[in-house]
Amino acid sequence: MPRAKEIISREKTSRDMAQNYADNIQLHEDFALAVLKKHSIPDQKEGGYILININTATCTSDKLEKIQRFCKQYPKHKRVYFPCDMTDDIDCFETVKSFVPGLDLYDRTKHSLEETIQLFSQSAA
């Protein structure tokens, strides 16, 4: 990043980090936020589940232990693995499942966009 002439970030945290390296920073709101706002359900209730994701580049024992600790904060919630990238994240499912018993897989290719948005908007964490 120090040699970049221009940096475009999708969210505020990345923009703030990039400002340490360059002056010409542009923030573009993540496209998903507009989709979530458009399809939000008024007065929706929180579901009894949490969403989990990790990819092959970050699937280390340290990160898996952090996921375990995260799950302990929601002991009565169903655990749902949501692979964002069906060609990469999906490969981590069995590994994560060995650390998180009872983990279910959400295959977004078998659900509508509205169902997936509802899954995100109603998750406890």
Q: Where are the domains of the chain?
A: 7-37, 42-122
pLDDT in tens, 37-70: 776 666 566 678 999 999 888 999 999 999 999 9
**pLDDT surpassing 70 at residue 33:** no
Q: Return d(Cα 124, Cα 29) in angstroms, integer.
A: 23
Q: Return d(Cα 96, Cα 68) in angstroms, integer.
A: 9
Q: What predicted TM-score, i.e. pTM, was given to this entire model? A: 0.66
**pLDDT surpassing 90 at residue 10:** no
What's the rounded mean pLDDT across residues 73-102?
A: 90
Task: Give me the amino acid identity at 63.
Answer: K
